[in-house]
A and B are shown apart, each in its own frame.
Chain A
């Protein structure tokens, strides 16, 4: 109980002294601190129109939500289109309360329910960093939301129900590392924005905390790493390697998570990643109900399809090639309750994220042209029915639905 209080007291004192004596140094170290937090917050990912080779932080990226398309704004200090005329207070209100410089409510695609855990010093640091960027004039397209959501006031009701403005409070019974991990996971890293289940209004549900969530038809898997969790078989090093190098024994980050590793986590300090892992390892989960053994005919068909199409990389016994090709017998994507990601990867392929340490571009090719919906359903039913943990069968209709979604997305 005493230690954290003491540390924060010393920290406060140091900050005070710095303000008084060395303003120039403070400014530079504050920008550096802000840069780090900006990386941790993965701000660049949403605020860059990656699909159209947009300039970093200039916004304009279309963010699909279940309610419509939202375009991210320009974060560079351009007076007209960016944050040029914002104050630190206004910026703090945006991150802390979800309110913009004109007092309007921000849509919760911006993860302020997470960012609110950051302190005023931290949001000031992020602001200082963003203000140090080259200003770029970049208009943000109008959001494409249906009535009444296009009225920002409607967000106020949502916030009333689901948003709490809170600072991070360390748990004195836990280690400093664990607390740091929890702060990062729930705060800047905003893992739950994807990995926690959402209610019908798009708010994270407490009882679905890091148990996996569906976003743009990707199922972000259960990342609880304690007993019974989706990645209970990952140890601390596995989690650190995944986030730092983009390659781990069990799988590699792909597509959306690949972006997170590429822009954010590979650049974070190892002790921070270790803290994240320590925290995730403390999250236990209830054991899932065992599914019945699927239809033996489907299992046999699936096994044959697996051997012909998958075994060359993922090995005949599904053990894969650790750090290269995911072992499927223990994959938290294959065995997720929601098979969306697995279906999607088989249909459309996936690319392991190249990182600074491992620039390889290992990829799985798409099978949409080669396997029918029935075949993919049988293949997944086989994988989900024979791995280390059992998950329910997949129907051809589920594959058809995803195929249609992907075809639509391409247009």
Chain B
């Protein structure tokens, strides 16, 4: 028996970064907003205080911050000919859970996608001719210039630390010369770099690249954001990724938005409340609210004038499929949209082992690094290369967390006393150079509902069908040698290269940058949402997050996720509320 609740203006499904952004702006505009979060409340002092935030067993090994696979997981296969099996323990990616979502345990690398990334189809076709058969790359429908003010605001909310490379069209020394024009400098200066970044910078310049400090959400100094929220200087402890920050030094929904929001009487949050489906009116023309279940198993119908999907991209896609909103994507015909263009990223790199020099990798931060963008997006000529897109090449010192991190040179056994000696000899003397490669959408990579496996509520799990594409492999094969060349120029004794070859393997950790499934675009036949992140099918349903990306760029997604959320919520307030209905006529 589903209990009927009194209606609200807006219900948000999920309360991580995008949930907090929509809630802050919509409550500020005077609307009654309710956020439903599947996981628990999370708070710095209670859940990741300095006294235990560095507990690697709890947070890394036992996945303390992540979605529990027993609560919900995905099934996986490399291609349609295989039978997908459920991921019973997370591997190559780690979806978040609870208040703050993945925004609690992220590294804090906060890039803007390139202007050309938002028009990937038209830009590349104009420059290189038609895209290859099967590549379903599309334009976003929104441009970098339109998103710029929203990138800027998100950076100010987060207090991002970096150096502008392009201020209103003027190239500025020390920053990224390839970035889109910025209206303002970063709110904070870059972090202090360490030995490894200094060596990387010199080596990258030596091969003609343009290194710049990675824009970081780890604070280089004390900062108060536009909502009056305080971010403290980072201590470079290196417990960012997979951990919450106990020092208030990493931008997260908790440190930058939630405390201001919780004071507002027109905001409410219900934790441990899992949305089961998005409900539609009898004529199917609009959503009427959501049905959710609490921990006692009781189900509720929460009516709302507007619903915004703010869960992780995989769950947003699943909810739309389960609720039968939009046409599911069919890879055999290429028709349908929900679940289309699932993308990942292609990570590779090289590790440098020094003989004498100490790199002291334990002095780190999630986004402490130098990067070069010369091989990202369309910053280089792809003529004759057989692929589009690219990736940044970076030297991060994010951690030397002792359980997780013990790089050893080639030829060392994987265990035993020789291995231990090698760990001891190299632990303080390594640096890494990584390639953060883009992933272009392909007809054969997609998400749908699994025909066999269900969750504890009996609902089908999401099925992921994905493998690296020819474009991915060529991209990685082209960029990894550049990373290796830089690594060899850093003055170490030994370099070990980790190429990305063969099929995608869902077990070893690679990156939690899963995109697509609810993509935005210009045509309802090829996208789930319009340029304002509004469902083409139900005009009072909006979707947030990286599921909107028609394909994945060679960057960490959070900066663009934040900008899209601010862009969309601005459209709700300034366009939709005055005249509720489709904001784009198909």
Cross-chain contact B246 with A360 (CB below 8 angstroms)? no
> With a CB–CB cut-off of 8 A, which chain A residues contact B255?
360
> With a CB–CB cut-off of 8 A, which chain B residues contact A407?
none
> With a CB–CB cut-off of 8 A, which chain B residues contact A321?
222, 232-233
> With a CB–CB cut-off of 8 A, which chain A residues contact B44?
361, 363
20 contacts between A and B (CB under 8 A): A309-B51, A313-B50, A313-B232, A313-B235, A313-B247, A321-B232, A322-B222, A325-B232, A358-B224, A359-B228, A359-B229, A359-B260, A360-B229, A361-B43, A361-B44, A363-B49, A364-B45, A365-B49, A365-B246, A369-B51
> With a CB–CB cut-off of 8 A, which chain A residues contact B248?
324, 360, 362
Contact code string A342-378 (vs B, CB < 8 Å = 1, else 0): 0000000101001011111111111101100000000
In the complex, the chain A residue whose C-beta lies closest to that of B51 is: A365
> With a CB–CB cut-off of 8 A, which chain A residues contact B51?
309, 365-367, 369-370
> With a CB–CB cut-off of 8 A, which chain B residues contact A247?
230
Cross-chain contact B227 with A324 (CB below 8 angstroms)? no
Name the one of A349, A359, A366, A367 contacting B259, with C-beta atoms under 8 angstroms. A359
Given the known interface contacts A313-B247, A324-B230, A324-B232, the answer about A365 and B45 at a Cβ–Cβ threshold of 8 Å is yes
* Shortest Cβ gap from A358 to chain B (Å): 5
Contact code string A29-60 (vs B, CB < 8 Å = 1, else 0): 00000000000000000000000000000000
> Is B237 interfacial (CB 8 A cutoff)?
yes
Name the one of B43, B45, B235, B259 contacting A360, with C-beta atoms under 8 angstroms. B259
* B254-268 residues at the A interface, CB under 8 angstroms: 255, 259-260, 263
Give the docked Cα–Cα distance between A360 and B232 (Å): 11
> Is A16 interfacial (CB 8 A cutoff)?
no
* Shortest Cβ gap from A327 to chain B (Å): 13
* Shortest Cβ gap from B565 to chain A (Å): 21
Give the docked Cα–Cα distance between A357 and B230 (Å): 11
Give the docked Cα–Cα distance between A309 and B246 (Å): 12
Give the docked Cα–Cα distance between A321 and B263 (Å): 25
Give the docked Cα–Cα distance between A332 and B49 (Å): 25
> Is A323 interfacial (CB 8 A cutoff)?
yes
* Shortest Cβ gap from A266 to chain B (Å): 12
Give the docked Cα–Cα distance between A313 and B235 (Å): 8
> Is A312 interfacial (CB 8 A cutoff)?
yes
Given the known interface contacts A324-B232, A359-B227, A362-B248, the answer about A354 and B222 at a Cβ–Cβ threshold of 8 Å is no
Name the one of A324, A325, A363 contacting B45, with C-beta atoms under 8 angstroms. A363
Cross-chain contact B230 with A362 (CB below 8 angstroms)? yes
Known: A309-B51, A356-B263, A363-B45. 18 other contacts (CB 8 A): A247-B230, A312-B235, A313-B232, A313-B247, A321-B222, A323-B222, A323-B230, A324-B222, A349-B45, A354-B259, A359-B228, A359-B263, A360-B228, A360-B230, A361-B44, A362-B230, A365-B49, A365-B51
Contact code string A317-341 (vs B, CB < 8 Å = 1, else 0): 0000111110000000000000000
Give the docked Cα–Cα distance between A221 and B486 (Å): 58
Closest 3 A-B residue pairs measured CB to CB? A365-B49, A360-B230, A363-B45
Name the one of B50, B233, B259 contacting A361, with C-beta atoms under 8 angstroms. B259
Give the docked Cα–Cα distance between A312 and B236 (Å): 9
Q: What number of A-B contacts does a CB cutoff of 8 Å give?
A: 62
* Shortest Cβ gap from B554 to chain A (Å): 34
In the complex, the chain B residue whose C-beta lies closest to that of A247 is: B230
Report whether over half of chain B's contact residues are helix, strand or loop; otherwise say mixed. Answer: loop
> How many positions in chain B have a CB within 8 Å of any CB in the partner chain?
23
Give the docked Cα–Cα distance between A300 and B259 (Å): 39
Cross-chain contact A354 with B263 (CB below 8 angstroms)? yes
> With a CB–CB cut-off of 8 A, which chain B residues contact A367?
51
Cross-chain contact B222 with A365 (CB below 8 angstroms)? no
Give the docked Cα–Cα distance between A364 and B44 (Å): 10
Give the docked Cα–Cα distance between A366 and B45 (Å): 9
Cross-chain contact B259 with A312 (CB below 8 angstroms)? no
> With a CB–CB cut-off of 8 A, which chain B residues contact A364?
45
Give the docked Cα–Cα distance between A369 and B228 (Å): 32
* Shortest Cβ gap from A267 to chain B (Å): 14
Cross-chain contact B45 with A358 (CB below 8 angstroms)? no
In the complex, the chain B residue whose C-beta lies closest to that of A367 is: B51
Cross-chain contact A351 with B45 (CB below 8 angstroms)? yes
* Shortest Cβ gap from B284 to chain A (Å): 42
* Shortest Cβ gap from A277 to chain B (Å): 22
> With a CB–CB cut-off of 8 A, which chain B residues contact A309?
51
> With a CB–CB cut-off of 8 A, which chain A residues contact B237?
312
* Shortest Cβ gap from B122 to chain A (Å): 44
* B234-260 residues at the A interface, CB under 8 angstroms: 235, 237, 246-248, 255, 259-260
> With a CB–CB cut-off of 8 A, which chain B residues contact A370?
51
* Shortest Cβ gap from B363 to chain A (Å): 13
Give the docked Cα–Cα distance between A367 and B246 (Å): 14
Cross-chain contact B247 with A312 (CB below 8 angstroms)? yes
Give the docked Cα–Cα distance between A26 and B247 (Å): 51
> With a CB–CB cut-off of 8 A, which chain B residues contact A359?
227-229, 259-260, 263
* Shortest Cβ gap from B49 to chain A (Å): 3
> With a CB–CB cut-off of 8 A, which chain A residues contact B233?
321
Give the docked Cα–Cα distance between A365 and B259 (Å): 17
* Shortest Cβ gap from A209 to chain B (Å): 34
Contact code string B35-53 (vs A, CB < 8 Å = 1, else 0): 0000000011100011100
> With a CB–CB cut-off of 8 A, which chain A residues contact B263?
354, 356, 359
In the complex, the chain A residue whose C-beta lies closest to that of B48 is: A365
Cross-chain contact A312 with B50 (CB below 8 angstroms)? yes
Give the docked Cα–Cα distance between A363 and B43 (Å): 10
> With a CB–CB cut-off of 8 A, which chain A residues contact B49?
363, 365
Give the docked Cα–Cα distance between A362 and B224 (Å): 12
> With a CB–CB cut-off of 8 A, which chain A residues contact B227?
359
* A215-254 residues at the B interface, CB under 8 angstroms: 247
In the complex, the chain B residue whose C-beta lies closest to that of A252 is: B230
> With a CB–CB cut-off of 8 A, which chain A residues contact B224?
358
* Shortest Cβ gap from A322 to chain B (Å): 8
Give the docked Cα–Cα distance between A356 and B260 (Å): 9
Give the docked Cα–Cα distance between A356 and B233 (Å): 23
* A128-187 residues at the B interface, CB under 8 angstroms: none
> With a CB–CB cut-off of 8 A, which chain B residues contact A362?
230, 232, 248
> With a CB–CB cut-off of 8 A, which chain A residues contact B247?
312-313
In the complex, the chain A residue whose C-beta lies closest to that of B43 is: A361
Task: Report which residue of B227, B229, B255 has the largest number of chain A beta carbons within 10 angstroms of its beta carbon.
Answer: B229
Give the docked Cα–Cα distance between A309 and B44 (Å): 17
> With a CB–CB cut-off of 8 A, which chain B residues contact A363?
44-45, 49
Give the docked Cα–Cα distance between A379 and B334 (Å): 68
> With a CB–CB cut-off of 8 A, which chain B residues contact A357?
228
* Shortest Cβ gap from B188 to chain A (Å): 14
* Shortest Cβ gap from B580 to chain A (Å): 31
Name the one of B50, B228, B229, B260 contacting A365, with C-beta atoms under 8 angstroms. B50
* Shortest Cβ gap from B307 to chain A (Å): 27
Give the docked Cα–Cα distance between A370 and B53 (Å): 13
* Shortest Cβ gap from B514 to chain A (Å): 31
